[in-house]
Amino acid sequence: MADLKTILLGRIAQTGPMSLSDYMAECLLHPDHGYYATRDPLGAEGDFTTAPEISQMFGEMIGLCLAQSWLDQGRPAPFTLAEAGPGRGTLMADILRATRAVPGFTEAAEVHLIEASPTLRAKQRALLGDAPTWHDSITTLPEDQPLFFMANEFFDALPVRQFIRTGPAWSERMVGSENDSLAWGLGKPAPHPALVHRLEDTKDGDLIEFCPAAAPIIQAIGARIETHGGTALIIDYGDWRSLGDTLQALSAHEPVDPLDSPGMADLTTHVDFEALANATPSAHSRLTAQGVFLERLGITQRAQTLAARLSDAALESHIAAHRRLTHPHEMGNLFKVLALFPKGKPPPPGCET
């Protein structure tokens, strides 16, 4: 069977250069060679580590935040408890464990996981059992009940298009071929209606990123929340508005060239949270640094409680995990939190309007 690089070079030879969005989709989701379709990418033996894998405290804080929002909205039952991109299922397992202390919450929750990877679905089933309902897309989540939703490092993996400004027009960055290797190129300058607002804050030569898939997903989530109630927590690395090339490829926790080994490395970009906020029909919070969000929820007090039971190497690892999640020079400022909630209702704990 041909490898993905050979397949992509053949496609380019037949139909011409492809957008970065198409390239990312093939690298991540190709059924035979896609990164997420063929492996468990998490942990020390994988290519990256997410917050739920660093410490149980992350999931505990998220679970109690969602539970308090559920209480604030009148304890609706039943409700959809959903996660997009749930990895090994660690975050959902921690959420369910932490919220068992909230009367009625887990009994009313119907767990749904949005996961495209067969490998990761198997990991999730091994941890969570057969109780969750799995989905390929957010659009198939239940439409007629409140939605309490979590997405941690989900939007950063959605394919993006990149454009470089040329006067009032934009040249799209494309993936083509050169000397039997994948290579970058540029399309012809042309106006782009979705990028008109970026003419006000960019200059010639600036590169911006645009994620076509993000707005429809947020619209679907926000519409369910606005109509039926609920809360969404979007946690990812990025900022209010993207500027510059943020594409990165990781393999064995080290950066690699995104074009070198398609399908063998994780590809991500920084999330443009302004685009998400503008797309939701619900209310949304201010963008909040992850460290601030977790501290408002009481992660330091929880860390101190857990530390009292630990010693030696286990204690040192625990302290390092707390620092990694919250410190401004680690994940604390790099990762941001955006909450969605119904208009007229309070934002979830840890977030402000």
Q: What is the pLDDT of residue 44?
A: 52
Q: How far is CA 77 from CA 71, 95, 108, 274, in A?
A: 11, 17, 5, 32
155-192 tens-digit pLDDT: 999 999 999 999 999 999 999 999 999 999 999 999 99
63-115 tens-digit pLDDT: 999 999 999 999 999 999 999 999 999 999 999 999 999 999 999 999 999 99
Burial of 256: CB neighbours in 10 Å, binned 0-12, 13-18, 19+: middle
Q: Across the chain, what does the average pLDDT equal? A: 94
Name which of 162-171, 253-262, 269-278, 309-318 the model is least confident about: 253-262
Q: What is the pLDDT of residue 37?
A: 74
Quick check: 218 pLDDT over 80? yes
Give the residues across from 177 on adjacent strands: 182
Q: What distance lies between CA 248 and its chain's CA centroid?
A: 15
Spatial CA neighbour of 156 closest among 334, 30, 329, 333: 334
* DSSP one-letter string for 29-91: H-TTT-HHHH---BSTTSSB--HHHH-HHHHHHHHHHHHHHHHHTT--SSEEEEEES-TTSHH
Quick check: 223 pLDDT over 60? yes
Quick check: 46 pLDDT over 60? no
Q: What is the pLDDT of residue 39?
A: 64
Q: How far is CA 229 from CA 56, 95, 109, in A?
A: 27, 19, 14
DSSP one-letter code for 13: H
Quick check: 194 pLDDT over 80? yes
Q: Where are the domains of the chain?
A: 4-17+160-210, 36-158+213-287, 298-335
Give the residues across from 112 on adjacent strands: 82, 133
Burial of 37: CB neighbours in 10 Å, binned 0-12, 13-18, 19+: middle
Q: What is the pLDDT of residue 45?
A: 55
For the entire predicted model, the pTM comes to 0.93
- The CA distance from 22 to 1, in Å, is 21
Please report, in angstroms and rounded to a whole number, the separation of the first and last CA atoms in the chain.
53
Binned at pLDDT 50, 70 and 90, residue 2 comes out as low
What is residue 349's three-state secondary structure?
coil
Percent of the chain's residues with pLDDT above 70: 97
Per the CB < 8 A criterion, the answer to whether 47 and 266 are in contact is yes
Quick check: 47 pLDDT over 60? no
Quick check: 230 pLDDT over 80? yes
Quick check: 269 pLDDT over 90? yes
CB atoms within 10 A of CB 353: 10
Q: What is the pLDDT of residue 49?
A: 79
Token pair 């063998």 in the structure block, residue: 264
Q: What is the pLDDT of residue 117?
A: 84
Residue 87 φ/ψ region, left for φ over 0, alpha for ψ in the -120 to 50 degree band, beta for the rest: left
* CATH number for the domain formed by residue range(s) 36-158+213-287: 3.40.50.150
Quick check: 272 pLDDT over 90? yes
Binned at pLDDT 50, 70 and 90, residue 119 comes out as confident
